[in-house]
């Protein structure tokens, strides 16, 4: 289990902000719930509004790219958008990642409750027979 810190969050925001500050994105949309903290921070860092829904000209962000299910669905909905995550568990293809992590390692973000994250990991692994 990898427990991430707020300092690491700040580093990820800086890295992603440097990548998108001069881009044509018109706002930032955060995937509920994991992407919201990142979206707010990036919205401030690149001086773009926080969006209530995904839009074609948006930067759509999430905390982690694990199976791809969430971002793949959003890419199908708004293929023109830009996509970014803090942690990617596979090599980024059409999305940007601040960090690429070991795919089997469970990630706990600073805004998460560690005890509940352990329960989430067990439920996830059980549901997939891992």
Q: What is the pLDDT of residue 123?
A: 85
The CATH class of the 2-127 domain is alpha beta
pLDDT the model gives residue 80: 97
At residue 110, the pLDDT reads 95
Main-chain phi, psi angles of 77, to 5 degrees? -75, -45
pLDDT at 103: 74
| Residue whose token pair is 């949309």 | 29
pLDDT in the model for residue 119: 87
| DSSP state at residue 126 | H
Residues of the chain below pLDDT 50: none
- The four Cα atoms 24, 30, 31, 35 give a dihedral, to 10 degrees, of 120
Quote the CA–CA distance of 11 and 16 in Å, as a whole number: 9
Predicted TM-score (pTM) of this structure: 0.91
Domain boundaries, the chain: 2-127
Residues 106, 119 contacting (CB under 8 angstroms): no
């Amino acid at each position: 289990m990898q427990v991430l810190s707020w300092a690491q969050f700040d580093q990820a925001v800086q890295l992603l902000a440097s990548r998108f500050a001069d881009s044509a994105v018109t706002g930032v949309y955060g995937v509920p719930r994991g992407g919201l903290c990142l979206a707010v921070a990036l919205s401030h860092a690149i001086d773009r509004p926080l969006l209530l829904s995904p839009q074609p000209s948006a930067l759509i962000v999430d905390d982690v790219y694990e199976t791809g299910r969430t971002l793949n669905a959003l890419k199908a909905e708004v293929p023109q958008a830009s996509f970014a995550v803090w942690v990617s568990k596979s090599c980024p293809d059409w999305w940007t990642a601040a960090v690429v992590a070991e795919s089997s390692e469970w990630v706990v973000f600073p805004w998460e409750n560690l005890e509940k994250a352990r329960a989430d990991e067990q439920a996830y692994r059980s549901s997939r027979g891992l």
